[in-house]
């Protein structure tokens, strides 16, 4: 496996970040399965966990996830960082809403989130939280399979 997997888990969040609940089933399958194929060919893994863009799902999305052998992952704490509300609002939202077993939605492409993370992690740990990967939280393997990527 490539080095990115040494410290992180990779999940599937679609190829193009399209809202799946508004797509026909073949398009849903393409969004989900094309990223699975890419991750398999690049990193040698097929992620188990799938988070749909905006958390929007319908029966076709659920059927596709199940057919691929994946688990649907949603969140219970939305940091609202995608609205770019600033460091303090992101930190306050997460600090006030996080409870044991929470899954927190954050976006690392937002510089405000990156700025908030060190302080937020320190705060949550001081409050007694242990930050773990989704696989540990759910006691399920992160990947459907792992094998060396093809040459």
Structural domains of the chain, with CATH: 4-74+139-146 (3.20.20.370), 77-126 (no CATH)
What distance in Å separates the CA atoms of residue 6 and residue 139, rounded to the nearest whole number?
19
Q: Which of 80, 87, 86, 94 is nearest to 123 (CA)?
A: 94
The pLDDT confidence band at residue 116, using thresholds 50, 70 and 90, is very high
Q: Which pLDDT score is estimated for 109?
A: 83
Those residues whose C-beta lies under 8 Å from the C-beta of residue 143, and which sit 6 or more positions away, are: 45, 46, 47, 48
pLDDT tens, 29-51? Answer: 999 999 999 999 888 899 999 99
Q: Which pLDDT score is estimated for 86?
A: 93
pLDDT tens, 21-31? Answer: 999 999 999 99
């Amino acid at each position: 496996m490539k080095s990115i997997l040494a410290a992180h888990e990779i999940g599937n969040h679609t190829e193009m970040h399209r809202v799946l609940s508004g797509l026909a089933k073949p398009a849903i399958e393409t969004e989900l399965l094309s990223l699975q194929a890419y991750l398999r060919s690049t990193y040698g893994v097929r992620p188990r966990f799938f988070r749909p863009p905006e958390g929007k799902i319908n029966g076709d999305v659920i059927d596709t996830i199940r057919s691929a052998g994946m688990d649907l992952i949603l969140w219970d704490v939305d940091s609202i960082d995608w609205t770019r509300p600033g460091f303090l609002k992101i930190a306050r939202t997460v600090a006030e809403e996080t409870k044991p077993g929470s899954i927190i939605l954050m976006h690392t492409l937002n510089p405000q989130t990156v700025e908030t993370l060190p302080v937020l992690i320190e705060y949550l740990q001081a409050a007694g939280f242990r930050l773990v990967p989704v696989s540990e939280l759910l006691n399920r393997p992160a990947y459907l399979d792992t094998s060396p990527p093809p040459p």
